[in-house]
Amino acid sequence: EVQLVQSGAEVKKPGESLKISCKGSGYSFANYWVGWVRQMPGRGLEWMGVIYPGDSDTRYSPSFQGQVTMSVDNSITTAYLHWSSLKASDTALYYCARQYGRNFDAWGEGALVTVSS
């Protein structure tokens, strides 16, 4: 069974750094793009970008380019989303998802990030 297990909820202050994780299992992790999707409170889905674990090729949405960094560690089949300096506007639920063809066929449960002073 394909599974994506995300790290838990985080509460951070503005200016702090954060890395959240997404561990894939049940499939060949290196061979499928992993996407990240933001959902702000009460709002819709926003595509942030994707990373290909096989060679770490990344594609970012223009809205998120320079704001976050995607990375992977194939040895532990885990993808990461990193912020170097959080803002209050980064408060949201973040999903990782496996891209299968042209859609996202498996999703993590989401990681809630709260940024507040």
Partner 1 sequence: QSALTQPASVSGSPGQSITISCTGTSSDVGGYNSVSWYQQRPGRAPKVVIYDVVIRPSGVSSRFSGSRSGNTASLTISGLQTEDEGDYYCGSYVDSTTIFGGGTKVTVL
Residue 10 or 46 having the CB closest to partner 1? 46
Residues 6+ apart with CB under 8 A from 102: none
Three-state secondary structure string covering 2-49: CEEEECCCEEECCCCCEEEEEEEECCCHHHCCEEEEEECCCCCEEEEE
Report yes or no: 96 and 27 within 8 Å, Cβ to Cβ: no
Q: Which residues here bind partner 1, judged by CB under 8 A?
A: 35, 37, 44-47, 50, 59, 61, 95, 97, 101-105, 107-110
In angstroms, give the least distance from the CB of 75 to partner 1: 25
Residue 24 or 108 having the CB closest to partner 1? 108
In angstroms, give the least distance from the CB of 73 to partner 1: 22
Residue 73 or 105 having the CB closest to partner 1? 105
Report yes or no: 50 and 58 within 8 Å, Cβ to Cβ: yes
Residue 54 or 110 having the CB closest to partner 1? 110
